[in-house]
Amino acid sequence: MNPPAAPADRKRRWLLPLTLAGVALTASLCAWQLDRAGQKRALEAAITQRASAAALDNAGLAAEGAQALHRRVRLQGHWLAERSVWLENRPMDGRVGFFLVTPLQLRGRAEAVLVQRGWAPRDPADRSRLPALADEAGEIVIEGRMAASPSRLYQLGEAGRGRIRQNLDPAAYARETGLTLLPLTVLQASHEGATPGLQRDWPAPAVDLHKHYGYAAQWAALSVLQLGLYVWFQVLRPRRAR
């Protein structure tokens, strides 16, 4: 009859399956992050392709609806300036200021579309003082690209109302104003005839591609580390001791 295994022997017997299970888990997480990176690469290519397509006009934007995301647009209409909202605490070029968002009533259509028109600095002496801009009455033409919604920051509680706000929720704003809004927002580009006094250095759409490669590298390193520790402590080190 064989004597019962010593506790150290039983521990060593479980080390190999536990190590292999850990390696399999971390390797699968590495593969998952690489798969996510592949999806983001495809999304990045799709965004680039959509941005290079011909610009949509009023009718094209209304027909595309939410499918117009990331498309370029060239729209005609007039500002509903009395409905403008200034989004505060928005930085640009290292300074804090406002993003101006104004509905554009599309020419020949019942719908309007929110336009993030640009950035203006905040008065350091009086945060409630709004920048003075040239009055743009009558028909205008704007150019830009479509984004999901106006710039948004984390906030506690309700968004509130008024000319100065932390965030602007398009659905709530449509109910508040009674406007029929298209589901996306225009990030207005600088072009001839654009409102002077506003900066428009909008960042390119981010897909966080490199983040997934970084996570994949971490999981791969952990997988190699587990295997290396097992080989060192259970194979190489005992041989050197003998």
Instruction: Quote the tokens at residue 91.
Output: 């930085």
Question: Rounded to 5 degrees, what angle do the CA atoms 115, 120, 124 make?
Answer: 145
Alpha-carbon span 198 to 84, nearest angstrom: 14
Residue 88, pLDDT > 70, answer yes
**Tokens 């064989």, located at residue:** 2
Alpha-carbon span 126 to 222, nearest angstrom: 53
Question: Rounded to 5 degrees, what angle do the CA atoms 203, 208, 212 make?
Answer: 165
Residue 84 neighbours by CB under 8 Å, 6+ apart: 100, 101, 102, 163
Q: Report phi then psi at 200, rounded to 5.
A: -135, 50
pTM: 0.76
- What does pLDDT average to over the chain? 88
Instruction: Quote the tokens at residue 95.
Output: 């300074």
Over residues 182-213, the pLDDT tens digits come to: 999 999 998 877 888 899 999 888 777 788 99
Instruction: Quote the tokens at residue 144.
Output: 């830009």
Over residues 93-147, the pLDDT tens digits come to: 889 999 999 999 999 999 999 999 999 999 888 888 888 887 788 899 999 999 9
pLDDT at 11: 63
Instruction: Quote the tokens at residue 30.
Output: 């590495």
